[in-house]
Each structure stands twice: as structure tokens, then as C-alpha cells.
Amino acid sequence: MTASVMIPRMERQDKRLVDQLRPISFETGIAPNATASVLVTFGRTKVICAVTIEEDVPRWMKVQRVEGGWLTAEYSMLPYSTLDRKRRDITAGKLDGRSSEIQRLIGRSLRAAVDLGKIGQRTIWVDCDVLQADGGTRTASITGASVALAIAVNKLVAEGKLAESPMKRLVSAVSVGILEGEALLDLCYVEDKDAEVDMNLVMTDQGEFVEVQGSGEEAVFTADQMNRMLELGRKGLEEIAELQRQVIAEEDRPSAGALEGLSSFFGSGR
């Protein structure tokens, strides 16, 4: 009779289970001059996400007679956010390719969350500044910015500047990957840099995909491994969405009128 052998599961650097998120927190009101702001923390990764509402739209919208408003995002890593000082983009005279790609991702993700036709002739500026980087800065930025965006538009409704909330859904993001053959959720920097496969998932709180970014790092991956990463990502994003809803509900406590159209945020039992 052949004895079965138990293969130990991979031990992560921070002792988490393979399907366990890093500790996540949201601190609101971190930048008082913004319409809304959130300091989001994923483990040791910390990002300030601030939303500012401008009572105007880009020139291209006026020229093309596009109705409604616009949402755009900017992303930067502060020089002291990494172990070795990161040079500011301005010293190079241009935005580096990585920052440009990430801020486009943030903008795309958040535009999927809001009905731009309902915000009037306004521009929503979303600024994401990384205070400390330990992996997952883009996913933390999207997650925190979604909370700040919801709080900001709720303020416009409460002030009577909007008749109803333009928020259609919340969005959040998380990383998944394959390290030493094991699928992991929410990779920290050490895991991310050594991962054979790296994937970022952006989803709505209604379980819909907004974006999937994944690639092998000089490696390949199977359909089963991809399905396992998607499974882990869905689990993590459901947990994150619940945290987002709690923070928004505690921050805003909006009137009954402002609750219309926000059933996915409050009182839905989801």
C-alpha cells in the first residue's frame, strides 16, 4: 500500500494564506482641500487618492460638442516611496512610461463606475500619489480612488449640485500571480518581483470585469492556473468591495434622496 504524502503549501513572507489579502484600511479626509480624499493602505503600500471637481470640461469636449462631463486621473510615486529614491518625472522632462500606463488604467477603471452624462459640465480630477510602495500600487490606487469618487459625488448631491448620483457601481482592483507554481492573492513587492506570472484584476462590486492585465514573466501558464488566479481575485475583490461600502456609508450618511441609485453601495445586503 502506497502512503500518501502531504505537500506543504507555500509559506508566504508575511505568513498569509495563499487566498488572504493584506490588511486593508481607508482613512478619509486626508487632503482637506480636495472634494474628497482617502489614504488607502494595502499592507505596507500606502496611496493618497484625492478627487477634485472642476466646474468646466476639457476644450476637446467643447469643440466636439460632447455632452456631460469628464473624468481623468494622474498617478505618481513620491521620491521616498521606494527603498532607493525615485527621481521625480519632472526632472526627466516627461512622464515615465509606467506612470503613464497606470494613470490611464486608473482613469479607464473609474470611468466605468460613473455616468459622465449625469455630472454636468464638470471635470473630475483623480490624483493618486504613492507614499509607500510594497507592491500593488496601481490596484490600491484604483480601490482608494473609487471610494474617494463615491464620497465626492455624494457631496455634490447633498449640496444640491446634482439631482441624483452619477455613480453606477464601485470598482476595485487586486493583484494575483503564480510564484513557485502556487497561485497567490494580493502580491507584495517581494512576491511580485519573483512571480512567474503576474496579473491585475479590476472588477465592479457587481462581479463584472473592467480590465484584466496578465502576463508570464519569462514563463507560461495554463488555463487551470488562470482560472485559479481568477477565482482568488474574485474572492479578494468581493471582500474589498464590502470594505469600500462600509467606509462610504460611514463617511457620508446621505439623505434618503441621495441614496437613490446607490443600492449597490448601501442597504443592498450584498
Domains and CATH numbers, the chain: 24-259 (3.30.230.70)
**By mean pLDDT, which of 60-69, 96-105, 130-139, 174-183 is the weakest?**
60-69
Beta-carbon contacts of residue 86 (< 8 Å; ≥ 6 apart): 77, 78, 79
| Amino acid identity for residue 118 in this structure | K
- pLDDT at position 254 over 60: no
pTM: 0.87
Mean pLDDT over the full length of the chain: 88
The grid coordinates listed for 164 are 441624483
Binding-site residues for phosphate, in ranges, read 98, 136-138
- pLDDT at position 62 over 90: no
Binding-site residues, in ranges, read 98, 136-138
